[in-house]
Amino acid sequence: MLDFSFISLLARSSLLSIFPIGSRTFIFDQIFFIFLLLGTIVGIVVISYMVIQAYRYREDSTRKKDDIDRPKLGELPPQEDDGNKLLKSLLLSAVVVIALVVWTYGSLLYVEAQPSQIDDALTIGVEAYQFGFLFTYPDGYQSTGVLRAPVDRVTVLKITSRDVLHNFGSPDLRIKADAAPGQVSETWFLAESTGTYDSACYELCGAGHSYMLAEIIILEESEFEQWNKTKNNGN
Amino acid sequence: MNKLLQTDGGHSDEHGLPPMSSIKRWLVTTNHKDVGILYIVTSLFFLVMGGVLALLIRLQLWLPRAPGEGLLSAFAYNQSVTAHGLIMVFWFLSPFAFGFANYIVPIQIGAKDLAFPRLNALSYWLYLISGILLGVSFFQGGTFNGGWTVYAPLNLPAFTPQVGATSAILALLIFSVAITAGSVNFLTTIHRMRAKGMTLMNMPLFTWTILLTVWMMLFAFAALLAALMILSSDRILGTTYFSTTGTQGSLLWTHLFWFFGHPEVYIVFFPALGAMAEIFQTFTGRRIVGRKWFIAALVLVTVQSFVVWMHHMFLTGINLEIKTIIMITTIGISLPFDLMVFSLIYTLVKGRIQFTTPFLFAFGGLVLFIIGGITGVFLGAVILDYEFRGTYWVVAHFHYVMVGGVTGLVAAIYYWFPKITGRMYDEFLGKVNFVLYFIGFNLLYFPLFIAWETPRRVFTYAPSLIPWHQMATIGGFILALSFVVMLYNFFISLSNGEEVGNSPWEYASTMEWALSSPPPLENWDGVPTYENGELEFIPEKIATDGGEITHE
């Protein structure tokens, strides 16, 4: 096994964090923006270059005959090869791609390490089934279809499935984890503002898949505590 | 090409086979060119079938639907997305490419036929039977409806009890058998039956990509075949390998499936890449830049394709150490593709580029593949992949790659149409085809990047995304229309097209263009050889006597 504890320590030290850390929404938005920016630039540069070269070297009756050696029918491909320009371009693209992915790796380590680092995290069990989600709170209280959690506090989710493979995801909170029968996968989120967020199943699981939804209601800490105390009476 | 003995175009020796106009010919033939045509025509039928399903999906997505609303019920929708994926990946893309492989590979390397012509015919007929069985499965209580990835335990009768679902699994199984037989055939042919002087490094790039494709098929489809046999046993005999009561059934299937599934991406893309490389060389009048590097990159991808499968499982029960390794191999496999893309682009430089229909499609295919590749790097970053999982980002990305590949194969069908039919397609209609195709494609798939927050395989989505989904639906119909134009073009050109000689292309260099169009049943008189550095056909007697070839 490789030892990652050193790097994940690095990931957690704010001094050295050149990669984004914070809520999952923040991390995703930062990294996605940089990828989108660079991806767009690279795409435009490469495709423009292609189109310009294709236009520049188009067959044109006004173009003078050149003496470039063209492919001939029945020839064997010549063995001499100029791979120089090719390898330089490859090197350039390799540097960009590798740098980008390595940069995101620190954030990955942070995200992966987070649940075990937090003391006051709220841990909620999520059991997916055809076709809904059952949420179990630390005191054993269960609810279907609605998950309540406090704002500005890390919530750890332990996700499993009762039947087939599902996937619990919430786009606004950037939660996503497979729910597999017989396994528990762990993930976490940190909501930075109160409100109601959507979540849904992201793995085709049967006829009701399109409507396998749940709400995540994020409350102020005090409101959450209030609800937490009374939830067993009301329901 | 001096000293080249031209083959006789009027060759009428059909070896007792009925003429091409008779149906019996197509039932009894084992000739590689006939089988190639059978593959191309059959796969185009499956393109229409998969395409109609896609249009149904797009119509259902015109608006976010409540249960029971729209054209399709929830059950019908799941069948549609599943069958669309299966048909396009298995019954259209690979067989379409292998239509060209059947027809072109032997006449690029100097083989009279494939090594085992009867086995080749068997492969085709198993393919057809499996496809018909899949079609029938719709009427057996509904076909399989758990997604083209057939994830466990949804693939078990407890969750998908329809007889049709079992038929679909059996259809896949028969298809895998057909592919395995076919890959053995091509491996033997390409490794053992090349003309003298046609070393591996001298092989045309299309043949190279087919060789590497069948090597990948040999190993990848073995894994799929094994998984399907276990699954069939679960479904028919009542064993419980992927059973819900076990804890690891779903994980076992996912590993087996993606061990096949990732190489499969390259299996369907490589032939298109090879065709694009040929077409770039022919219509730019340039030999490919860095040919040996291009081949090295292809070989590298072939090997690496078997060590990246777990990037489909970043959220599926694998630990951080393995995620890290797979992230590295995944980034690693993108680099040889970078090299190949640069190689194709630099081939344009100093060319005399003829913007014929095949070139436009090959060029367009490369543009689409570049966009698919860039958006794929997003998915290679695990932290982004977590959020893209199960969304339309994945859908849009792999359609840019896979249908980018289709674009290369459309280029291929235009490129080789004159060779196969002996007649020229209509260039104007070809260009109309390209314009419609390129606009339709981008209108269909690009908005899906913008609407990427839509979960996959659902027909409810946020109302704010409606314009993007409607744009995509319109694009889907334009793309479909472009295929109608293509089929119409071929249909009228079969009888009205201008007759072509050996080669309508000025800078074509590979052997198939030295033969008449279409080539005679046994391809050539005499024996083709590259022994003296260029293609010659020497009389059979001299070659079999082992005597000296005399040059005057």
One digit per residue, pLDDT tens: chain B, 552 residues? 444 444 444 444 566 788 888 999 999 999 999 999 999 999 999 999 999 999 999 999 999 998 888 899 999 999 999 999 999 999 999 999 999 999 999 999 999 999 999 999 999 999 999 999 999 999 999 999 999 999 989 999 999 999 999 999 999 999 999 999 999 999 999 999 999 999 999 999 999 999 999 999 999 999 999 999 999 999 999 998 887 655 678 888 999 999 999 999 999 999 999 999 999 999 999 999 999 999 999 999 999 999 999 999 998 878 899 999 999 999 999 999 999 999 999 999 999 999 999 999 999 999 999 999 999 999 989 999 999 999 999 999 999 999 999 999 999 999 999 999 999 999 999 999 999 999 999 999 999 999 999 999 999 999 999 999 999 999 999 999 999 999 999 999 999 999 999 999 999 999 999 999 999 998 988 899 999 999 999 987 765 555 455 443
Contacts with B496 (C-beta within 8 Å, 6 or more apart), sequence order: B423, B426
Contact A70 B507 (CB under 8 A): yes
Report if residue B4 sits inside a domain: no
Which DSSP letter does residue B305 get?
Answer: G
Angle at A161 between CA A155 and CA A165, to 5 degrees: 115
Contact of A127 with A196, CB cutoff 8 Å: no
* pLDDT exceeds cutoff 70 at A234: no
B533 and B409 within one domain:
no
Nearest CB among B334, B349, B508 relative to A73 is that of B508
B456 and A202 in contact by Cβ < 8 A? Answer: yes
Q: Determine which helix (DSSP H) or strand (DSSP E) holds A178, and give its type and residue range.
A: strand A175-179
pLDDT of A2 over the 70 cut: no
- For residue B270, the distance in angstroms to the closest alpha carbon of chain A comes to 20
If one counts every other C-beta atom within 10 angstroms of the C-beta of residue A61, the result is: 4
Domain annotation covers residue B13: no
Q: Do B171 and B134 touch, CB atoms closer than 8 A? A: yes
Q: What is the pLDDT of residues A179-208, one digit of tens each?
A: 999 889 999 999 999 999 999 999 999 999
- Alpha-carbon torsion (B410, B414, B416, B420), positive or negative: positive
pLDDT digits (tens, 9 = 90+) for B490-538: 999 999 999 999 999 999 999 999 999 999 998 988 899 999 999 999 9
Please indicate, yes or no, whether residues B216 and B343 belong to a single structural domain of this protein. Answer: yes
User: Is residue B19 in a domain?
Assistant: no
The verdict on B472 and B540 lying in the same domain is no
The H-assigned helical ranges of B389-509 are 392-421, 427-450, 466-496
List the beta bridge partners of residue A123.
A156
Taking the CA of residue B510 and the nearest CA in chain A, the distance in Å comes to 6
Contacts of B145 in chain A (CB under 8 A): 206-207
What pLDDT shows up at residue A233?
A: 75
Decide if B526 touches A, using CB distance below 8 A. Answer: no
Asked if residue B382 belongs to a domain, the reply is yes
What pLDDT, on a 0 to 100 scale, did the predictor assign at position B250?
86
Whether residue A129 is predicted with pLDDT greater than 50 in this model: the reply is: yes
Distance from the B327 Cα atom to the nearest Cα atom in chain A, whole angstroms: 9
Question: What chain B residue is nearest to A3 in terms of C-alpha separation?
Answer: B321
Reading across the β-sheet that carries A132-136, which strands appear in turn? A142-144, A132-136, A122-129, A154-161, A185-190
Instruction: Give me the number of domains chain B comprises.
Output: 2
Largest Cα–Cα separation, chain B: 81
Nearest C-alpha in A relative to B312: A178
Q: How far is B492 from chain A (nearest CA, A)?
A: 28
Quick one: three-class SS letters along B61-72?
CCCCCCCCCCCC
| Cβ–Cβ < 8 Å for A132, A201 | no
* Tokens representing residue B443 in the block: 């209108």
Query: In this structure, are B489 and B537 located in the same domain?
Result: no
A227 to chain B nearest CA, in Å?
Answer: 29
Asked if residue B3 is part of any domain, the answer here is: no
Do B513 and B531 fall into the same domain? no
Nearest to A165 among B151, B202, B381 (CB): B151
- My answer on whether B552 and B462 are in the same domain is no
* Cα–Cα distance for residue pair B304/B490, rounded to 1 Å: 38
Q: What is the pLDDT of residue B245?
A: 59
**Nearest CB partner across the interface for B457, out of A75, A81, A209:** A209
Q: Residue B545: what pLDDT?
A: 54
In a domain, B94, yes or no: yes
The CATH number given to A122-234 is: 2.60.40.420
Higher pLDDT, B300 or A78: B300
Which residues on B lie below 8 Å from A86 (Cβ)?
A: 289-290, 293, 339, 342-343, 346
CA of A2: which chain B residue's CA is closest?
B321
Most distant CA pair in chain A, distance: 91
ipTM of the complex: 0.91
CA B399 to the chain's CA centroid: 13
Choose the mutation target among A69, A102, A109, A165 for the interface with B, i.e. most B CBs under 10 Å. Answer: A165
Of A49, A202, A211, the CB nearest to B345: A49
What is the average pLDDT across A122-143?
95
Tell me, yes or no, whether B252 and B107 share the same domain: yes
Q: Say if B6 falls within a structural domain.
A: no
Which positions ≥6 away from B502 have C-beta within 8 Å?
A: B6, B513, B514, B515, B516, B517
Instruction: Clarify whether residues B440 and B539 are in a common domain.
Output: no
**Same domain for B310 and B202:** yes
Please indicate, yes or no, whether residues B494 and B528 belong to a single structural domain of this protein.
no
Q: Is B154 on the interface with A (CB under 8 A)?
A: yes
Q: For the residues A82-99, what does the mean pLDDT come to?
A: 89
Which H helix or E strand runs over A197?
Answer: strand A195-201
Q: Is B419 on the interface with A (CB under 8 A)?
A: no
B155-to-B140, B162, B246, B256, B459 alpha-carbon distances in Å: 16, 11, 14, 14, 21
Look up residue A235 and give its two tokens: 């329901």
* Chain B residues 228-247 with a CB less than 8 Å from chain A: 244, 246-247
Whether residues B527 and B515 fall in one domain: no
For residues B494 and B533, membership in a common domain is answered with no
Q: Identify the CA nearest to B328 among candidates B316, B315, B311.
A: B311
Residue B292: per-residue pLDDT: 92
Residue B210 tokens read as 């087919």
Report the CATH number at residue B59: 1.20.210.10
pLDDT digits (tens, 9 = 90+) for B426-466: 999 999 999 999 999 999 999 999 999 999 999 999 999 99
What is the span of the domain harbouring residue B547? 522-552
Alpha helices, DSSP H, located in chain A: 5-12, 24-56, 84-117, 221-234
The helix (run of H) or strand (run of E) holding residue A177 is strand A175-179
